[in-house]
Amino acid sequence: MKVIIPIVNLNLQKLVIAKSFTTSEFVCIYDLSSRSYYWCKANEIISSEGNVTLALKSNKIFSVITNQLQMLAFNLFLESGIKVYKTSGNDLVRNIELFEKGQLSNFTFQHCNLSSGHTNSCSSCNSNCAN
């Protein structure tokens, strides 16, 4: 099983978790069985034209670690059986350690609301939302 995490860049900050997948074009994929890291551009894993969850699953990625996530994406992951975890700080290695120990918190709808500035939940995410 693998987990995907947004990172700042592929150079000096490849061990720093980015705020979200929408703020960075780079990801780290950690393979739990081989305990190996793979860094790449997100579009190498997920094409903009394809189904995100199918692309993740076809690459044996069934978990996501992120600090922020749009409500629509979170719903899509939940419906597809992809588990989403909330980061604890921005240190990639530390978050992987916590993930392996089962000590990362599950990402919740409240995390979506807090990261987008919403004060209550709604059925869809829209940048023009008045909530």
Residues spanned by the domain of 51: 2-116
pLDDT digits (tens, 9 = 90+) for 40-89: 999 998 876 568 888 999 999 999 999 999 898 899 999 999 999 999 99
Q: What confidence tier does 115 reach under pLDDT thresholds 50, 70, 90?
A: low
Compute the C-alpha angle 51/55/58, nearest 5°: 135
Q: What confidence tier does 129 reach under pLDDT thresholds 50, 70, 90?
A: very low
DSSP state letter for 43: G
Look at residues 125, 128, 1 and name the one whose alpha carbon lies nearest to residue 62. 1
In a domain, 48, yes or no: yes
Look at residues 81, 73, 82 and name the one whose alpha carbon lies nearest to residue 109. 73
pLDDT tops 60 at residue 128? no
pLDDT digits (tens, 9 = 90+) for 31-49: 999 999 999 999 998 876 5
Q: How many domains does the chain have?
A: 1
pLDDT digits (tens, 9 = 90+) for 85-110: 999 999 999 999 999 999 999 999 88
Average pLDDT estimate for 15-25: 92
In a domain, 46, yes or no: yes
User: Global pTM?
Assistant: 0.84
- The owner of tokens 């996530």 is 69
In a domain, 123, yes or no: no
The CATH number of residue 8's host domain is 3.30.420.130
Do 26 and 8 form a contact (C-beta atoms < 8 A)?
A: yes
In a domain, 82, yes or no: yes
pLDDT tops 80 at residue 131? no
- What pLDDT score was predicted for residue 86? 97
In angstroms, the first-to-last Cα distance of the chain is 37
In a domain, 87, yes or no: yes
Q: What is the mean pLDDT of the chain?
A: 86
In a domain, 126, yes or no: no
In a domain, 130, yes or no: no
- What pLDDT score was predicted for residue 108? 92
In a domain, 97, yes or no: yes
